[in-house]
Amino acid sequence: MPSTDLLRPRDGDALRAELREVMRSSGIPVVFGGEVTGHTLYLSELHGTRTRGLQGLMIPSRSGLGGRVMDQRRPAAVSDYGNSQYITHDYDQPVLSEGLRSVLAVPVVVEGASRAVMYAAVRERGPIGDRVADAMVRASRRLSQEIAIRDEVDRRVRLLGTRPYNVDSAAAMEALREVHAEIRALTGSAEDPVLQSKLTRLSERIALAFRPAVGDDSIAVSARELDVLAQVALGCTNADAAARLSLKPETVKSYLRSVMNKTGTRTRHEAVVAVRKLGLLP
């Protein structure tokens, strides 16, 4: 899914990071991959290759090993690429010119659709070992989760521009608070530090839009305390907030106690009001 604004980092950067991690953790000499647009895989990330034959290769669904796993949405491997009867041989020239013989391809599946394909390869015939396969599957799952989070953030951001509410209405405020709380929750799930930083800035922008003219900057509220308060502001119980943020209920209570101590309030709802006055919540 292409990004429509500057919030979303390039998914290709996350793919590159995962491929490098596979190389580091498994010792596999060659990894490569690319994103899927429509029904076509575009190879853009190559590590350990000696030629540029695979760079920029466009692979339609069902074509070659990558097209096959993209279509079937499950990993597949060939131990003798040039003689395999399992795949079409549309890409023998660039693959064999690179000297690759044993190749494993793993799709990155999000919401039932292949969004990228990752490859690991060696220049000898024979099966690729379990260590490499396990590293590839783990990387695929991490990347799948990351892309799913980015998609959800994009969807939430678009809601800000499509809600048919007057900016001053109570309904608009409630909608903004809901989006703000969900962005705070997504921030904690994102593994990419760049994405985390941008999500944090986005939630801060929403809060600052409603900051009072005079605010007290002397009270420091932590990011996790704000995450909890954002859920409480929506009417969530401690248990609900814990489930949304993947925390224990006792941890939620601890964050709330900390904020109440800082703001001199006695209840969770008073704490929300106090933090809103600081301009940290919408």
174 and 249 housed in the same domain: yes
Is 3 domain-assigned?
Answer: no
Q: Among 193, 192, 163, 164, which Cα is nearest to 178's?
A: 163
Give the CATH number for residue 87.
Answer: 3.30.450.40
147 and 123 housed in the same domain: yes
Q: Are 201 and 155 in contact (CB under 8 A)?
A: no
204 vs 117 pLDDT, higher one = 117
Tokens of 254: 């601890």
Percentage of residues in the chain having pLDDT higher than 90: 49
Instruction: State yes or no: pLDDT of 4 exceeds 60.
Output: no
Last residue within a domain, chosen from 103, 118, 151 = 151
| Confidence at residue 103, expressed as pLDDT on a 0 to 100 scale | 97
* Residue partners of 35: CB distance under 8 A and separation at least 6: 11, 12, 15, 41, 42, 44, 115, 116
Q: Is the pTM of this model over 0.85?
A: no
Q: Are 191 and 13 in contact (CB under 8 A)?
A: no
Of the pLDDT bands very low, low, confident and very high (cuts 50, 70, 90), residue 171 is low
Of the pLDDT bands very low, low, confident and very high (cuts 50, 70, 90), residue 220 is confident
Of the pLDDT bands very low, low, confident and very high (cuts 50, 70, 90), residue 199 is confident
11 vs 78 pLDDT, higher one = 78
Last residue within a domain, chosen from 125, 151, 177 = 151
Percentage of residues in the chain having pLDDT higher than 70: 86
248 vs 277 pLDDT, higher one = 248
| Confidence at residue 6, expressed as pLDDT on a 0 to 100 scale | 47
17 and 141 housed in the same domain: yes
26 vs 243 pLDDT, higher one = 26
Domain that holds residue 113: 11-151
Q: How many domains is the chain built from?
A: 2
145 and 168 housed in the same domain: no
Residue 101 to residue 103: CA distance in whole angstroms: 6
Q: What is the pLDDT of residues 16-48, one digit of tens each?
A: 999 999 999 999 999 999 999 989 999 999 999
Q: What is the pLDDT of residues 77-112, one digit of tens each?
A: 999 999 999 899 999 999 999 999 999 999 999 999
Residue 61 to residue 63: CA distance in whole angstroms: 6
Instruction: State yes or no: pLDDT of 163 exceeds 60.
Output: no
Mean per-residue pLDDT, 108-129: 95
15 and 43 housed in the same domain: yes
Instruction: State yes or no: pLDDT of 266 exceeds 60.
Output: yes
Half-sphere exposure of 94 (CA within 13 A, CB side): 15
